[in-house]
Amino acid sequence: MISTPPALLKDYHKTACFYFESIAIECLQERNIEAFVTGILNTAFNVVITTDININDIPTYIEKVKRFFERYNVPWRWVIDNRAASPRLEECLEQNGLKYKDTFSSMFLDLEVFEAESWVKKFDIRKVSDLKELKDWSLPIKEGFVYTEESSAMFVKLNAVYLSCDLGRMQHYVVYHDNQPVASATLSLSEDGVRLNNVATCIKFQRQGFASGVIAYALDKAKRAGHKYCFLDSSAKGVGVYSRLGFKQLSTYKNYEFLFNHKKVDIAC
C-alpha cells in the first residue's frame, strides 16, 4: 500500500477534475462524484471520478451517470481508487455493464526540488500559440495514443478555445525535429497545482528523449510560474520514465469502461 499525505491526494483529485472540466462540454457534479463528457467517441475523454463514495450509493450514482452519458451517446469510464475498491463494488459495476480495462498510477512531483537538465535546451520546443501549432501538437498524440481522425479533430476543437480567449488554464507544448512535430505535452494550471497530460511521441521518434525533453521543459515553466506540485496519471509502462524525472507514486486506480455493446441490466447491487 502506498502511504500518501491526504492533502496531496486531494490536490491530485482537484487537478484531475480541473483538467477534464476544461475540455468538457458538460459536467455532472454530485456529492463525492463528478462526471465529464466531451462528445469524443473514446473512453479516455468521458470520465467519472469519485471520492469516498458509499457502496450503498453506487446503484443510484450509476443510474444518474448512465443517463448523463446516454444523452451524448458516447462510451465512458469510471475511475476507482484501489484503496476504495472492494469485491462488492467491482461486482456492482460489472453487473451494470462496466468492464475492467486497466490499472494506472497517479504520481506527483515537488517542483521546488526539480531542476531541468541542460540537455533539454538542445530540443526545438515551442509553446502552442496558434491553430497550426495546435494541429502540430495533436499529431504525436493521435499517433501515440492511436486516436481516430474524428477523435483527434474534435480534441483539437475542444482545446482551440484556449487559444482564442487566452485563459491561461492550458498550455500545450510541441517538440520539433527538422521542423516536424515529434512529441507533445499539455499542462493544465489551477490553484491546486498543475497537471501533465497528453504526453506522446510519434512512433518513429520514440526512445530518443523527445518525451522526456518536452516534459522537463514544461515542468521548468510551471516551476518558474511559482507552482509547487505537478500531478499526472501513468500506465505501468510509463512509471519508470516519470520516476527518473523525480515523480513519486500517490496511489493506483482502476478504469472500468462502459461501451455501446454492453447489455443493459437492472440496477440491483
Residue 13: all three cell numbers together: 483529485
* Distance linking the first and last C-alpha atoms of the chain: 28
Tell me the sheet residues that pair with 102. Answer: 255
| Of the candidates 69, 89, 14, the residue with the CA atom closest to the CA atom of residue 256 | 89
Coil, strand or helix at 150: helix
pLDDT above 80 for 69: yes
Domains of the chain by residue range: 6-105+252-258, 110-250
Can you give the pLDDT at residue 229?
A: 96
Residue 54 CA: distances (Å) to CA of 17, 58, 85: 20, 7, 11
Residue pLDDT, tens place only, 138-169: 999 999 998 999 999 999 999 988 776 666 78
**Mean pLDDT of the residues in the chain:** 89
Domains 6-105+252-258 and 110-250 share a fold: yes
Residue pLDDT, tens place only, 71-130: 999 999 999 888 877 788 888 888 888 999 999 999 999 999 999 888 888 999 999 999
Distance CA 98, CA 5 (A): 30
CATH 3.40.630.30 fits 110-250, yes or no: yes
213 and 118 Cβ atoms separated by less than 8 Å: no
The answer to whether the predicted template modeling score (pTM) of the entire model surpasses 0.95 is: no
Residue 112: all three cell numbers together: 521546488
- Rounded mean pLDDT, 27-44: 93
227 and 190 Cβ atoms separated by less than 8 Å: no
Query: C-alpha angle 219/12/96, rounded to 5°?
Result: 130
Distance of CA 251 to the CA centre of its chain: 15
Element (H, E) at 15: helix 6-23
Fold of 6-105+252-258: Aminopeptidase (3.40.630)
pLDDT above 80 for 3: no
Please, what is the angle between helix 87-95 and helix 58-70, to 10°? 40
Distance CA 221, CA 225 (A): 6
pLDDT above 50 for 1: no
Residue pLDDT, tens place only, 227-266: 999 999 999 989 998 999 999 999 999 999 998 654 443 3
Distance CA 99, CA 76 (A): 11
Query: C-alpha angle 53/190/129, rounded to 5°?
Result: 130
